[in-house]
Amino acid sequence: MHDQFHTIVIGAGSGGLTVAVGLSSLGKAVAVLEALHVGGDCTNVGCVPSKTLIHQAEERGTLDPEGALAEVRRKRDALREKETHEFGELPNLSLIFGRARLVSRTQVAVRLPEGGERMLQAENIVIATGARPRKLVIPGLPEQRMLTNETVFELPVVPHHLAIIGGGVIGVELAFAFRKLGSRVTMLDSSPRLLTRHLREAAEAIEASLAAKGVELHLNTSVQGYDEATQALHIERNGSVATLHDVDYVLVAVGRQRNLDGLGLEEVGVTFDSRNGIAADSYGRTNVPGIYAIGDVTATSAFTHSANAQGRRVVQRIAFPWLPATTPEPFYPSATFADPEVATAGMSQRDLAARYHPALIKRIRVDLVTQTDRGYTDDLHHGFIIVDTVRLTGKILSVTIVGPRASEMISLFTLAIQERISLYRLYRVVYPYPTFSSGIQKVADAFMRETLPNLRGELATYLRYRWARPARVADVTVPLGARAAE
Amino acid sequence: MHDQFHTIVIGAGSGGLTVAVGLSSLGKAVAVLEALHVGGDCTNVGCVPSKTLIHQAEERGTLDPEGALAEVRRKRDALREKETHEFGELPNLSLIFGRARLVSRTQVAVRLPEGGERMLQAENIVIATGARPRKLVIPGLPEQRMLTNETVFELPVVPHHLAIIGGGVIGVELAFAFRKLGSRVTMLDSSPRLLTRHLREAAEAIEASLAAKGVELHLNTSVQGYDEATQALHIERNGSVATLHDVDYVLVAVGRQRNLDGLGLEEVGVTFDSRNGIAADSYGRTNVPGIYAIGDVTATSAFTHSANAQGRRVVQRIAFPWLPATTPEPFYPSATFADPEVATAGMSQRDLAARYHPALIKRIRVDLVTQTDRGYTDDLHHGFIIVDTVRLTGKILSVTIVGPRASEMISLFTLAIQERISLYRLYRVVYPYPTFSSGIQKVADAFMRETLPNLRGELATYLRYRWARPARVADVTVPLGARAAE
């Protein structure tokens, strides 16, 4: 092992490993520094255990909840071991456990677990240290009753009454899972609704589904404190106080905090702030040449698939610097594995509002429950497709799907948006019957039906508002907020 | 009601109703003639009851099989009633029950159920009479023990031991459903494998899944006879005879037969034969001007979604005859709602073999079990994506997906094929993690990995075989065979 590398990657999570595997397979000597576990959040405390739990909860339900939890740990440990072994064996890749700190623009010091420090040098440094759950202080709550996504999968038995604070992706996914495993589940959020980054309709569908499954919801609500003697969680809404009884665990899922501390960013002059993390462009380049940042430690989409995609772009930049850096960053899709699932593609509603005059946007909603035969045969309770499109042209801007297979259906729209395929062209696609995707046919039908008989009016609206800018909104920054690190 | 119409549609199934609703909404006077039930096979004896049964079997399993069957009938009847009512109320649309017969190129006689005949006249006649299950004679089998898709949903209790003859779409879907409801299920097919129109790998996955769920498979096997006294079904394979015991029902799903009899086709000179049905072009036009044919009564794809798509094309032809008839007919996708699902898009293997030299085709296979994390978290047993693509160019020709959500995933490929999106461009799409669709990313990755380092060799192969024709194969006709009428 040499202390001189082509590239040093700090953090062996989804983003960091993508860079490390990509560059090492191209023959570059890469060091990957990891403070804890190979696989990062995704493998250890994120998507893998949560999706395994969701699947196990579906399969075992209340019959064997402890078996479900044990299986989650078994599969997670097996995957971690496999990945650690595989990445450790890759040629040109050195996996080094320890805590990293930038010393100069080309040097990283690693504090080794066995003690001592090791100094590494490379022309490229990629920071992929991710994020961790934000803490919350709840007066009176003993530490062993407080859970986050980092500890919840260690539970040997399911909670009797689980209070979940935070109605973002993590909170919602785990609410469904633990409810199916038999826990009493109560969700609290200080916002007036769940999933605040999604369309109101999506949040309402999920709220209705949670309620139908027996999950209690308390919105606009904050937590006051906990009384260990009576296992009472005191909450407050609009000035009035209430009590949740028999709460044995509190899961805190109130957003995430970027791992910026102790990295030596100030020392080498990397621009960052605590709200948006490290400033990086769409190819991961920070303000310091040779230093890159990707994944949750930056301000971009906080998903495993976006960290992977960013990692690919960094590999391209580092390995082929002469290629033009002009490929636009993709619109990252999102998926929330609730029941039903919620998936989005294209621009966020915030970006949309910033760039297009509202009169220019035609919104089409197709109900999967009442407008598709699959919704009928499968007794669907909640589901829809909402597409925001440009009037007249049918250009697809933003899509939200709520439904049992939304996370798979959404990629057709990601492709359509990437390839600038309008609803006129989508109209020609034939979907298998009976599927939920045939709702996409109905979206195109509705656009045609509402546009073609009124071409003159649509054209007039288009010409009037195409270059009209909406009132300026605040800068579009993306704090991690209540998002999942997946 | 007038006896003079703009268009007469014979058959109120998926295809016929698409034409009738489309034309009547454009203000044309349409008569729809139906001999039995509105909704045709799909609503009454096809996709709707079968998908409801599949869903009910998944939900209720062995706990309440009779409840599942009763729910199938309840939902089917409710839908039939709703559709009959809705279509009966549409302006410009006259729904007439009775059996139709062409009298001339513009005249149809309807034998009414209450007796007597009525004569209708129109400039356009659309034949959409569909197909029915092919019968099989099994010596000794009492009629009440013989089922087809037209009678199987009437069963008040699930069979003790159901023998299914025919391993096509209908046989396979119902085998999974009845097995989940607790029946002993044995499948027989005279072919060496199931799902003979699909790739061998797809059939093998379904055979393995059926076996894992406890369905007995007898391939290369024919039925000899039945002995009512002992409830024994005698079968024969390679000259040796065996017996299946305690068989209380035999489901015959050995293909379908087009409804051509008594239509008066010969009298008005419409070209047809018993193997391929009525000859029609991609706009449904027969050899007789003004007479159209769509859906199962023709030789095209025997699915509800293809009948619907054909119906749309007929509407376009009849309502806007001045539009150029140049839009190519779409490649119809297919979906088999087995467990896992099987879905296809693009050219059939037979068409592929007829048009491309084998050396020009690169086949890529991504295993959803071992190569996607969703396969891991969800304990997937069988699943893959196979894409046949043109070397060098990455043009997508044919796709088969086997997996739990294949019927939804396939439409991304339908769109890609329609829009000529190559694997180079598919490579840029970001899929939500962890989904089965991320296997599509791996398809594109594999193509790039196998193509880019060997561009010179791929180019040479491409140039050598691009215009080389394969050995001529037999005419590509599509008999209905063992396909479902869905």
The CATH number given to whatever domain includes residue A373 is 3.30.390.30
Q: How far is B348 from chain A (nearest CA, A)?
A: 16
Read off φ and ψ for residue B397, nearest 5 degrees.
-105, -45
Residue of A nearest to B420 (CA): A419
Alpha carbons A258 and A253: distance in angstroms, whole number = 15
Regarding whether B242 and B181 lie in a shared domain, the answer is: yes
Which pLDDT score, from 0 to 100, does residue A485 have? 34
Regarding whether B278 and B246 lie in a shared domain, the answer is: no
Regarding whether A362 and A305 lie in a shared domain, the answer is: no
CB B127 within 8 A of CB B115: no
Which residues of B sit in the known binding site for FAD?
Answer: 51, 296
Gyration radius of chain B's alpha carbons: 24
pLDDT one-digit tens code per residue, A34-78: 999 999 999 999 999 999 999 999 999 999 999 999 999 999 999
Which pLDDT score, from 0 to 100, does residue A484 have? 36
pLDDT one-digit tens code per residue, A188-241: 999 999 999 999 999 999 999 999 999 999 999 999 999 999 999 999 999 999
Give me the percent of chain A exceeding a pLDDT of 70: 96
DSSP strand pairing (A291-293 vs A117-127): parallel
- B93 forms beta bridges with B30
Residue B470, domain member (yes or no): no
CB B68 within 8 A of CB B183: no
Q: For B78-196, list the strands marked E by DSSP.
A: 93-97, 99-102, 107-111, 117-127, 131-133, 146-147, 161-165, 184-188
Residue B21, domain member (yes or no): yes
Contact yes or no for B377 and A411 at CB 8 A: no
Residue A243, domain member (yes or no): yes
Contact yes or no for A408 and B411 at CB 8 A: no
Alpha carbons A383 and A439: distance in angstroms, whole number = 10
Regarding whether A289 and A156 lie in a shared domain, the answer is: no
Alpha carbons A227 and A284: distance in angstroms, whole number = 47
Residue B325, domain member (yes or no): no
Q: Which domain holds residue A179?
A: 143-254
Residue B484, domain member (yes or no): no
**CA triple A290-A293-A298, angle to 5 deg:** 150
Could you tell me which residues come within 8 angstroms of residue A81 by beta carbon, excluding any fewer than 6 positions away?
none
Confidence band for A486, pLDDT divided at 50, 70 and 90: very low
Q: Which of B282, B316, B286 is nearest to B300 (CA)?
A: B282
pLDDT one-digit tens code per residue, B469-483: 776 554 443 333 333
Q: Does B333 touch chain A (CB under 8 A)?
A: yes
Contact yes or no for A377 and B42 at CB 8 A: no
To the nearest whole number, what is the mean pLDDT of chain A?
93
Which pLDDT score, from 0 to 100, does residue B471 have? 67
Residue of A nearest to B380 (CA): A55
Regarding whether A297 and A346 lie in a shared domain, the answer is: no
B249-252, strands of its sheet edge to edge: B146-147, B249-252, B161-165, B184-188, B216-218
- In this predicted structure, the answer to whether residue A169 has a pLDDT above a threshold of 60 is yes
Regarding whether B315 and B170 lie in a shared domain, the answer is: no
Which pLDDT score, from 0 to 100, does residue A147 have? 98
Which pLDDT score, from 0 to 100, does residue A477 have? 40
Is this complex's ipTM strictly greater than 0.95? no
Residue B377, domain member (yes or no): yes
Regarding whether A311 and A231 lie in a shared domain, the answer is: no
- In this predicted structure, the answer to whether residue A474 has a pLDDT above a threshold of 60 is no
Residue A470, domain member (yes or no): no
Q: What average pLDDT does range A462-479 have in this prediction?
A: 67
pLDDT one-digit tens code per residue, A75-127: 999 999 999 999 989 999 999 999 999 999 999 999 999 999 999 999 999 99
What stretches in chain B show pLDDT beneath 50?
Answer: 1, 474-486
Contact yes or no for A430 and B305 at CB 8 A: yes
Regarding whether B245 and B272 lie in a shared domain, the answer is: no
| Residue where one domain finishes, among candidates B215, B238, B254 | B254
The CATH number given to whatever domain includes residue A250 is 3.50.50.60
| Residue where one domain finishes, among candidates B254, B277, B294 | B254
Which pLDDT score, from 0 to 100, does residue A431 have? 96
Which residues of B sit in the known binding site?
Answer: 51, 166-173, 255, 296
Regarding whether A58 and A111 lie in a shared domain, the answer is: yes
Residue B486, domain member (yes or no): no
Residues 334-353 of A with CB under 8 A from B: 334-335, 343
Regarding whether A289 and A244 lie in a shared domain, the answer is: no
Regarding whether B148 and B195 lie in a shared domain, the answer is: yes
Regarding whether A286 and A207 lie in a shared domain, the answer is: no
Contact yes or no for B373 and A432 at CB 8 A: no
Number of domains in chain B: 3
Which pLDDT score, from 0 to 100, does residue B202 have? 98
pLDDT one-digit tens code per residue, A326-336: 888 888 999 99
